Amino acid sequence: MRGTRAFVFVTAALAAAVAVGTGAAADGGTARGWGVELTLPDGWAKVQPASQTWSTDPRTMLVIGTDGVRAAESDCQVSAYHVPSDGAVVVVIGWREAVGVSGFLPLSNLKLRRGTFSCFDGRGAVAQVTRRGLDYQVNVMVGDRASADTVAAALDAARSISAAPRHRD
C-alpha cells in the first residue's frame, strides 16, 4: 500500500509539472524561450516548437498560440503549425549571430496580409527586431475565422517581444 501512495504522488507531481511546463494553465503572464519573451494573452499558451535539428539556423526560439495550435509536419519552418480557423499563433525565430535584418520589417508596420507565408493560406504578418545584439523574426499567423479580439491579441503579443531577464544564481 505504501508503494502505491508513493506512485500516485509521483504521478500527480509529474502531471502537474507537465501541465505547467507546456503552459496548459497559462492565463496572461509571459512565455520565455532561448533568451526572448512574449506577453501571453489570456487563454493562450506556450506551444512546443516544431521539430528542428541542433544546427538549424535560424532556429525556432518561442511559439505561443490559442487553444488547438500545435506543431505539424512541414518543410516550412515558420508555418510548421496547425492553426485553428478561429485561432492564432506567434512564432519567433532567431539567428545564432547577428545578420543585420532589423529595421527592414519593423514591429510598427506589423499588418496581416494573405500570402505572407508560402506554406500558410491564412493571414500573416512578419517583423524583424534585434535584442541584445541578436536578430529575431516575429511571425503571426491567424485563422480565417479568428475574431477581432484574437487578431488584436496576436499582434499585441508579437509587439511585446523583449529580451528575457537574465537570472543570476
> Model pTM?
0.80
One digit per residue, the tens of pLDDT, for the chain of length 169 reads: 444 443 333 333 333 333 333 344 345 799 999 899 999 999 999 999 999 888 889 999 999 999 999 999 999 999 999 999 999 999 999 998 877 766 667 888 899 999 999 999 999 999 999 888 889 999 999 999 999 999 999 999 999 999 888 775 5
The β-bridge partners of 81 are 71
What's the pLDDT score for residue 10? 35
What's the pLDDT score for residue 101? 66
Phi-psi region of 68 (alpha: psi -120 to 50; beta: other; left: phi over 0): left
Q: What is the 3-state secondary structure (H, E, C) of the chain?
A: CHHHHHHHHHHHHHHHHHHHHHCCCCECCEEEECCEEEECCECCEECCCCCCCCCCCCEEEEEEECCCCEECCCCCCCCCEECCCCCEEEEEEECCCCCCCCCCCCHHHCCCEECCCCCCCCEEEEEEEEECCEEEEEEEEECCCCCHHHHHHHHHHHHCCEECCCCCC
What's the pLDDT score for residue 29? 95
What's the pLDDT score for residue 65? 98
- To 10 degrees, the CA torsion angle through 33, 76, 83, 26? -10
46-57 burial: b if 16+ Cβ within 10 Å, else e: bbebbeeeeeee
The β-bridge partners of 131 are 134
What's the pLDDT score for residue 3? 46
